[in-house]
Amino acid sequence: MKAAATTFDGTLFAGITVLVQVVESGSFVRAAEALGLSSSGVSRAVSRLEARMGVRLIERTTRALTLTGEGQQLYEQVRPHLTGVSEAVALASGAAHAVRGKLRVNIDPFFARIVLAARLTEFLERFPDLSVELITKDSVGDLVADRFDLAVRFVDPPVSSLVAKRLIDTRILTVASPGYIARHGRPGHPKDVAEHQRILFPNPLTSQPFEWEFRRGRELVEIPVTGHLLVSDAGTMLDACIAGAGIAQTLELGTEELIRRKQLVNLFPDWSGERFPLFAMYPRRRFVSAKLHAFVEFCSASIASSSRAR
């Protein structure tokens, strides 16, 4: 028995596309701007889709749009398929070779501020048809659901569904300014740090300060996590340390230049065995877009440039 041919329903597909844009834009107005339609046209498209399905998909209020249970289920089921369609169109249109469009990156705030920020102008001038969104979040999360193209984070890859490229393993350094050392003395051993003023940095996953550890081969020294100053911004931490507010533990990546210029002193060069890996992670797909590849290469080049400054 011959199976019946499946007929493509363009009207249904268009309605679903509009619905997804509304969800991801957060409003009918922004969805209309992205789609090149009027706000009333977007609203009618969603209403027609709801009428065809016989269920309400979006609860509308004067302040917000909220998916109903049925709307959430539909969105979660169709979004991966729309991604596949986008990939096929991008591949056919040459996006695998052209750096253009919008790139959303879930990025580590330290890496973005200390390593990339000063180099972004050059990258954007090189690719004028590309717009970049650098978003700092507490964790990698679900890249697809959160509509990120990739993540660049100091964490081990959380799931096997992500392609992970290790960009660098960077050491943890314990640093202080020459001014601080002149006033308070230089600790001779990691255990002596407990008697000094310290600048702490919170773990974004726990909101608690990172523990202070010193590693030399198999030796491990841990000291209590106490300090008179806690800051959640890497730039502020380094600026405060340069100003003499206390001793800080920081990543070697991005701090080398400060040490080379003698603004900071690496207190324990032999006790820097603790390392953090930096990964670029992105969903497994049939092809890697040129814009994603270009940004990963930009990150690698920025790391190399920062390291050469030593």
23: Cβ contacts below 8 Å, ≥ 6 apart:
65, 67, 71, 75
Beta strands 162-176 and 275-283: pairing type?
antiparallel
Taking only the tens place, the pLDDT of each residue in 198-224 is 999 988 778 889 899 999 988 999 998
Longest pairwise C-alpha distance within the chain: 90
The architecture that CATH gives domain 10-93 is: Orthogonal Bundle (1.10)
Question: Model's pTM, two decimal places?
Answer: 0.67
- Report residue 4's pLDDT band, with 50, 70 and 90 as the boundaries: very low
Taking only the tens place, the pLDDT of each residue in 78-123 is 877 766 666 566 555 555 567 888 899 999 988 998 899 989 999 9
Does the domain formed by 97-310 have CATH 3.40.190.290?
Answer: yes
Beta strands 198-200 and 247-251: pairing type?
parallel
- Report residue 303's pLDDT band, with 50, 70 and 90 as the boundaries: very high
Domain boundaries, the chain: 10-93, 97-310
- Which tokens go with 305? 């440039």
| 114 three-state secondary structure | helix
Taking only the tens place, the pLDDT of each residue in 239-256 is 999 999 999 999 999 888
Taking only the tens place, the pLDDT of each residue in 224-239 is 888 899 998 888 999 9
